[in-house]
Amino acid sequence: MQLRRTVAGAGAGILTLFLLSVAFPGGEAAAAVKNPTHNITKILAEHPEFSTFNHYLSATHLAEEINHRQTITVCAVDNAAMGELLGKGLSIFSIKNVLALHVLLDYFGAKKLHQITNGTALAATMFQATGSAPGSTGFVNITDLKGGKVAFGPEDNSGDLGSSYVKSVKEIPYSLAVIQISKVLPSPEAEAPTPAPNQVNLTSVMSKQGCKVFADLLTESGAISTYEESAVGGLTVFCPLDEAVKTFLPKYKNLTSDGKASLLLYHATPVYESIDMLKSNNGLMNTLATDGAKKFDFTVQNDGEVVTLKTKVVTARITGTLIDQQPLAIFSINKVLQPKELFKAALAPTPAPAPAPEKEPADKKKTKKHKLSSPPAPEPFAPEGEPADQKADDTGSGGRLGVSVAVAVGVGMGALMALFSF
Ligand SMILES: *[C@@H]1O[C@H](CO)[C@@H](O)[C@H](O)[C@H]1NC(C)=O
Ligand SMILES: *[C@@H]1O[C@H](CO)[C@@H](O)[C@H](O)[C@H]1NC(C)=O
Ligand SMILES: *[C@@H]1O[C@H](CO)[C@@H](O)[C@H](O)[C@H]1NC(C)=O
Ligand SMILES: *[C@@H]1O[C@H](CO)[C@@H](O)[C@H](O)[C@H]1NC(C)=O
Ligand SMILES: *[C@@H]1O[C@H](CO)[C@@H](O)[C@H](O)[C@H]1NC(C)=O
């Protein structure tokens, strides 16, 4: 019963989003990232007692997911409570699950918390929404106790409501509530060891499901290592089906090596987006190719169940899901995405002259979204004509393919060590 209610709440959020997007069509032009609704990092930064919680929301990329949600409650815990959680020595992926359990997919401001119908409710959470949570785990039981106290407990924890409401931190009715609760919600499921996402073999997932030509281009060019590095923190890939890539190959071969690399990196975004998130969060999306002034973005737009990706040149449609396992999602699309930075825009009826650059920018783009960059390697070992800008592949030695695994693992370890020296 209560479940249905919270789901209805989320539905209302989506409706709000829909209304907003109708009210401001095309108003997204200035946004660097797909119209975030909130900035949880900024909100929590005003409260030093939540600095550890805030740090981990960013480190796990949950902050981005929170920022894009329309109806959400974040149950923050103070630095002492986070210290206890960190003392358990969980991997960053398990910490992400635990924190995701603290993000309720409905609005629970202080007033609403104290007026829960029948005094108790189950709230869906971001942990449950990712599908990583088995059964009814991932729901949080909120119960009004005598004397105005409101208790919280994970549904899988046999009625232990050991954490309680402390105070309201920030409320934007009925969209975002940030409240403090006394303790981390204990959940064996959320804390369970989670396989690192970089153990998934990206190219083999693609190759087995109709995107082999694209996967081969990723491997050949070395762009795969940028994909693998990103997969540690969150990655969504839109891979064109074999037919589409084959048709496109002449144009691809015409690109400079820099252009090829940008085109391949253009097909992924460094955040996790489930199909539901794509459906409910239309707008501009940055890609792995986005680099300062070079926007390399496209617009996500859905029409009912159909999700399209629009560049100024082409409109592609999502045709299937190859894998959706937070923090990694790979979708197939029916066309190669052509960025306006590399290809002439389709003739539009508008009077805008928009002189598309005839040749690709040939300048170096060394900072191509290597999120955890390491010092620049000496000089590229690129054989003639091969992508010269893959030099950031972090190792002096050759053998790109084998090396890329080590890089991905190394980056993961580095991230963990950085986090735990915190
Ligand atoms: C959110 O705020 C933080 C801290 O003020 C800032 O560094 C970050 O760029 C902001 N994020 C967005 C998406 O605006
Ligand atoms: C509240 O409790 C009553 C009586 O047990 C029940 O009929 C009703 O459905 C409950 N309301 C909700 C929203 O769960
Ligand atoms: C929440 O937990 C309490 C205590 O175990 C229980 O009485 C109540 O029924 C639970 N609420 C829901 C909505 O399941
Ligand atoms: C992925 O699988 C392919 C073939 O199945 C293999 O050649 C490649 O080395 C694997 N990549 C990684 C990163 O393990
Ligand atoms: C390749 O580039 C040349 C010179 O810019 C152009 O004439 C030709 O049409 C291009 N071929 C394809 C397939 O785009």
Q: Which pLDDT tens digits describe the chain residue by residue (422 residues)?
A: 343 333 333 433 333 333 333 333 333 333 334 456 899 999 999 999 999 999 999 988 889 889 888 899 999 999 999 999 999 989 888 899 999 999 999 999 999 999 898 899 999 999 887 666 677 778 999 999 988 899 999 987 666 788 999 999 999 999 999 999 999 999 888 888 876 655 789 999 999 999 999 999 999 999 999 998 888 788 999 999 999 999 999 999 999 999 999 999 999 999 989 888 898 878 999 999 998 888 999 999 988 889 999 999 999 999 998 888 778 899 999 999 999 999 987 665 544 444 444 444 444 333 333 333 333 333 333 333 333 333 333 333 333 333 333 333 333 443 433 333 33
SS3 228: helix
Q: Within a 13 Å sphere around the CA of 396, how many CA atoms are in the beta-carbon half? A: 2
Going by DSSP bridges, is the β-strand pair 150-154/139-144 parallel, antiparallel, or unpaired? antiparallel
Going by DSSP bridges, is the β-strand pair 235-240/328-333 parallel, antiparallel, or unpaired? parallel
Edge to edge, the sheet with strand 103-104 lists 103-104, 72-76, 176-181, 163-172, 150-154, 139-144, 120-124
User: Which of 272, 252, 269, 270 has its CA nearest to residue 261?
Assistant: 252
Query: Rounded CA gap, 190 and 154, in Å?
Result: 10
- Ligand 3 atom nearest to 2, measured from its CA: 13
Ligand 4-lining residues (CB < 6 angstroms)? 201, 203-204, 401, 405
Other Cβ atoms less than 10 A from the Cβ of 347: the count is: 6
Q: Which fold has domain 197-333?
A: FAS1 domain (2.30.180)
What's the one-letter identity of residue 293?
A: A
* Cα 202 to middle of ligand 4, angstroms: 8
Other Cβ atoms less than 10 A from the Cβ of 84: the count is: 11
pLDDT attached to residue 260: 96
What values do phi and psi take at 117, rounded to 5? -55, 130
Q: Where are the domains of the chain?
A: 1-33+393-422, 36-191, 197-333
Query: Rounded CA gap, 234 and 255, in Å?
Result: 28
Using a 6 Å cutoff on CB, does residue 151 contact ligand 3?
no
Domains 36-191 and 197-333 alike in fold: yes
User: Which of 181, 177, 179 has its CA nearest to residue 38?
Assistant: 177
* Cα 78 to middle of ligand 4, angstroms: 43
138: left (phi over 0), alpha (psi -120 to 50) or beta: left
- Ligand 1 atom nearest to 40, measured from its CA: 1
Using a 6 Å cutoff on CB, does residue 159 contact ligand 3?
yes
pLDDT attached to residue 69: 85
* Cα 70 to middle of ligand 2, angstroms: 27
* Cα 55 to middle of ligand 1, angstroms: 12
* Cα 404 to middle of ligand 4, angstroms: 10
User: Which of 230, 253, 245 has its CA nearest to residue 64?
Assistant: 230
Q: Could you say which of 3.10.110.10, 2.30.180.10, 2.60.40.10, 2.70.70.10 is the CATH number of the domain covering 36-191?
A: 2.30.180.10
Query: Rounded CA gap, 134 and 189, in Å?
Result: 8
User: Ligand 4, residues 199, 203, 232, 330: which to mutate, most atoms within 8 A of Cβ?
Assistant: 203
Ligand 1-lining residues (CB < 6 angstroms)? 33, 36, 39, 41-42, 45
Q: Bridge partners of 34?
A: none
